[in-house]
Structure 1
Amino acid sequence: MGRKQENGDGRGLELRSGIPLFIQQSSALLKKNALLSWRNKRATFLQLVSSLFFIFLIFAVDQAIKAQTRNTTGFKNLFDPQPEEVTAIPPCEDGFFIKTDGIGCWDFFYTPTGNADIERIVSAMKRNNPLRVIPDNKVRGFPSIDEAETFLLQNPMRCPAAVHFDIRANNVIAYGIQTNSTAKQIRGIYENANFKFQIPVQAAVERELTRFLTNNANLAWNVFFTEFAHPNIETFSTVGTIGPTFLLAAAMFGFVIQMSNLVGEKENKLRQAMSTMGLMNSAYWLTWLLWELLLGIISSVLLVLFGMAFQFYFFLNNDFLVLFFMFFLFAVNMTGFAFLLSTFLSKATSATSVGFFIFVVGFLTQLVTAFGFPYDKQFSSGLRGLWSLFPPDLLAIGLKYLGDATATKQDAGISFKDIDKCSIGNDDCVLTMSQIYIWLAATFVVWLLLALYFDNVLPDANGVRKPWTYFLRPSYWAGSSSKATEGGGCCSCTQAAPPAPELGELDDEDVVAEEDLVKRQKRDIVDDPAVAVRIQGLRKTFAGKTELKCCCRIKSTKPYHAVKDVWYNIEKDKLFCLLGPNGAGKTTTINCLTGIIPTTNGDALIYGDSVRSTSGMAKIRGYMGVCPQFDILWEALSGREHLHLFGSIKGLRPADITSGTEQLLAQVKLLEAAKVRSGSYSGGMKRRLSVAIALIGDPKIVFLDEPTTGMDPVTRRHVWDIIESSKKGRAIVLTTHSMEEADILGDRIAIMARGRLRCIGTSIHLKTRFGAGYIVNVSVRKESVGNSPIMPASSPRGEELRRDEVKQFFKDQLGVEFKDETRAYITFVIPREKDRELTDFFNLLEEEKERLHISDVQISLTTLEEVFLNISKKAELESAAADGRFDVLTLTSGPAIGMCINVPVGAPFVAVPGTESSETPNGMMVEIYWQQDDTGSLCIAGHSDLMPSPAPSAARPARRSGSQRRSFGPVGSFGRSSRIMEAEVIQMSNIDGNRPGSRRMSMS
Structure 2
Amino acid sequence: MTYVNSWDKFKLLLWKNWILQWNNKWQLILELLLPGLFSSLMVLLRALVFAEPKSITDYPLLNISNLDLFNNNLELLHLAPVQMKLLYSPINPILNNIIQEAANSLDLDGFEGFPDSTAMEEALIDNNILAGIQFSESWSDMKTYPEKFSYSIRFPSELRTSVSDRQQTWLTTKLFLPFDISGPRNMNSTDGGLPVGYLREGFLPVQHAVSMAYMKLLTDQNDIPEVYMQRYPYPEHIFDPLLQGLAKMMPFIILMSFIYPCTCIVKSITAEKEKQLKEVMKIMGLDSWIHWTAWFVRCFITLGISAASIVILMKVEFSDDVAVLTYTDWSVFLIFMWTYVITTICFCFMLATMFSRASTASAVVGLICFIVFLPFSIAESRYSDLSLGSKLVLSLISNTAMGFGFQLIMGHEGNGEGLQWSNLFEPINVDDDFTVGYIMLMMLTSAVIYMLICLYVEQIFPGNFGVPRKWNFPFTAQFWCGEKDYAGVEDMPNGVHITRKNSEAFELEPSGKHVGIQVKNLKKTFGPKLAVNGLSVNMYEDDITVLLGHNGAGKTTTISMLTGMFPPSSGTAIINGSDIRTNLDGARMSMGVCPQHNVLFDDLTVADHLKFFSRLKGLRGDAIEKEVNKYLKMIELEDKRNVASKKLSGGMKRKLSVCCALCGDTKVVLFDEPSSGMDPGARRQLWNLMQAEKAGRTILLTTHFMDEADVLGDRIAIMCDGELKCCGTSFFLKKKFGSNMC
Does residue 1:610 correspond to 2:620, yes or no? no
Contact 1:648 1:657 in 2 (8 A): yes
Equivalent pair of 1:313/1:407 in contact (CA under 8 Å): no
Q: Aligned pair in 2 of structure 1 residues 58, 604: CA closer, same or farther (>3 Å)?
A: same
What is the alpha-carbon distance in structure 2 between the residues aligned to residue 254 and residue 528 of structure 1? 58
Judged with a 3 Å threshold, the aligned counterparts in structure 2 of structure 1 residues 440 and 734 are, in CA distance, closer, same or farther, namely same
Structure 1 residue 33: deviation in Å? 0.8
Matched, 1:293 2:167: no
Aligned to 2:458: 455
Do 1:604 and 1:611's aligned partners in 2 also have CA atoms closer than 8 Å?
yes
1:326 aligns with 2:336: yes
2:13 aligned residue = 29
Q: 1:439 to 1:662 in 2, by over 3 A?
A: same
State the aligned residue count: 559
* Preserved CA contact (<8 Å) 1:577 1:750: yes
Equivalent residue runs for 1:835-914 within 5 Å? 862=739, 866-868=740-742
> Are 1:439 and 2:429 matched, yes or no?
no
Q: Is the 8 A contact 2:517 2:576 kept in 1?
A: yes
Matches within 5 A, 1:488-637: 508-511=502-505, 529-542=513-526, 544=527, 559-614=528-583, 617-637=584-604
Report what 2:425 is aligned to: 420
The question of whether the paired residues in 2 share the 8 Å contact of 1:62 and 1:238 is answered with no
Q: Does 1:399 align with 2:406?
A: yes
Cα shift at 1:310:
6.8
Distance 2:451 2:561 in 1: 30
Correspondence list, 1:541-940, <5 A? 541-542=525-526, 544=527, 559-614=528-583, 617-771=584-738, 862=739, 866-868=740-742
Q: Is the 8 A contact 1:58 1:238 kept in 2?
A: no
Checking the alignment, whether the CA contact within 8 Å between 1:313 and 1:406 is kept in structure 2 is no
Larger radius of gyration: 1
- Give 1:245 deviation, angstroms: 0.5
Distance 2:577 2:342 in 1: 44
Task: Tell me: CA distance 1:463–1:661, structure 2 relative to 1, closer, same or farther (3 Å).
Answer: closer
- Amino acid paired to 2:357: K
Retained in 2: the 8 A contact 1:511–1:757?
A: no
Q: More deviation in 334-343 or 288-297?
A: 288-297
Alignment of 1:184-223 (within 5 A): none
Shift of 1:403: 0.9
Tell me the alpha carbon deviations over residues 925-961 of structure 1, each in whole angstroms, 9 at most, x when there is no partner. xxxxxxxxxxxxxxxxxxxxxxxxxxxxxxxxxxxxx
Contact 1:534–1:604 (CA under 8 A) maintained in structure 2: yes
- Give the direction of change, closer, same or farther, for the CA distance of 1:510–1:756 in structure 2 (3 Å limit): same
1:270 aligned residue (257, 273, 277): 277
Q: For the residues of structure 1 that align with 2:41 and 2:333, how far apart are their CA atoms? A: 19
Aligned-pair distance for 1:271?
Answer: 0.2
Cα distance change on mapping 1:728 and 1:435 into 2, 3 Å: same
Residue 63 of structure 1 deviates from its aligned partner by: 6.5
SS at match of 1:749: strand
Q: Distance in 1 between matches of 2:737 and 2:654?
A: 32
Cα distance between partner residues in 2 of 1:290 and 1:641: 21
8 Å contact from structure 2 (residues 532, 557) kept in 1: yes
Which residue, 24, 27, 30 being the options, matches 1:40? Answer: 24
> Relative contact order (alpha carbons < 8 A, sep ≥ 6): 1 or 2 greater?
2
Q: Is the 8 A contact 1:16 1:652 kept in 2?
A: no
Instruction: Report the AA paired with residue 293 of structure 1.
Output: F
Write the letter of the residue equivalent to 2:629.
E
Q: Distance in 2 between matches of 1:278 and 1:452?
A: 18
Q: Distance in 2 between matches of 1:569 and 1:77?
A: 87
Counterpart of 2:357 (choices 337, 347, 353) is 347
Aligned counterparts, 1:357-396, within 5 A: 357-373=367-383, 376=384, 378-396=385-403
Task: Indicate conservation of the 8 Å contact 1:340/1:450, yes or no.
Answer: yes
**Amino acid paired to 2:240:** E
Deviations 1:94-115 (A, max 9, x none): xxxxxxxxxxxxxxxxxxxxxx
C-alpha change, 1:364 and 1:413, in structure 2 (3 Å) is: same
SS of the residue 2:315 aligns to: helix
Cα distance in structure 2, aligned partners of 1:762 and 1:513: 7
2:345 is paired with a residue whose SS is helix
- The structure that is helix-richer by fraction is 2
| Alignment check: 8 A CA contact 1:241 1:403 kept | no
Normalising by structure 1, we get a TM-score of 0.52
Q: Structure 2 unaligned segments of length 5 or more: list them.
A: 58-108, 110-160, 165-187, 191-233, 489-499
Partner of 2:473: 470
Look up the match of 1:251. Answer: 258
Identify which of 3, 16, 36 aligns with 2:3: 16
Give 1:268 deviation, angstroms.
1.0
Q: Distance in 2 between matches of 1:359 and 1:737?
A: 48
Deviations along 1:230-275, one digit per CA (max 9) or x if unpaired, are 9775353443221000111112222111111111111111101101
Would the alpha carbon gap of residues 575 and 317 (structure 1) be closer, same or farther in structure 2, given more than 3 Å must change? same
Displacement of 1:511:
4.5
The one-letter amino acid of 1:367's match is S
Following TM superposition, by how much is the alpha carbon of 1:77 offset from its aligned partner in structure 2, in angstroms?
5.6
Change (3 A) 1:234 1:664: same
Deviation at 1:686, TM superposition (A): 0.8
DSSP-derived class of the 2:566 partner: coil
Distance 2:577 2:513 in 1: 10
Q: 1:182/1:757 Cα in 2 relative to 1: closer, same or farther (>3 Å)?
A: closer
Q: Which amino acid letter does the alignment assign opposite residue 666 of structure 1?
A: K
Aligned partners of 1:484 and 1:613 also within 8 Å = no
> In 2, distance between residues paired with 1:229 and 1:596?
72
TM-score by length of 2: 0.70
Residues 76 and 700 (structure 1), Cα distance of their counterparts in 2 relative to 1, 3 Å cut? closer
Report whether the alignment pairs 1:315 with 2:364.
no
1:470–1:652 distance in 2 versus 1, CA, 3 Å: farther
From the superposition, tell whether residues 77 and 324 of structure 1 become closer, same or farther in structure 2 (CA, over 3 Å). closer
Give the match's secondary structure for 2:297: helix
CA contact (8 A) 2:533 2:722 kept: yes
Match status 1:234 vs 2:240 = yes
Distance 1:181 1:513 in 2: 97
Q: Identify the range of structure 1 (625-634 vs 354-363) with the bigger mean alpha-carbon deviation.
A: 354-363
Asked whether the equivalents of residues 594 and 672 of structure 2 are also in contact (C-alpha less than 8 Å), the reply is yes
In 2, Cα distance between the equivalents of 1:385 and 1:528? Answer: 68
Say if 1:295 and 1:629 are closer, same or farther in 2 by CA, change over 3 A.
Answer: same
Cα deviation for residue 439 of structure 1 reads 1.0
SS at match of 1:309: coil
Contact 1:531–1:572 under 8 Å retained in 2? yes
Shift of 1:639: 1.3
Pairwise CA distance, 1:62: 5.6
- 2:506–2:728: 8 Å Cα contact kept in structure 1? no
| CA shift in 2, pair 1:659/1:61, >3 Å | same
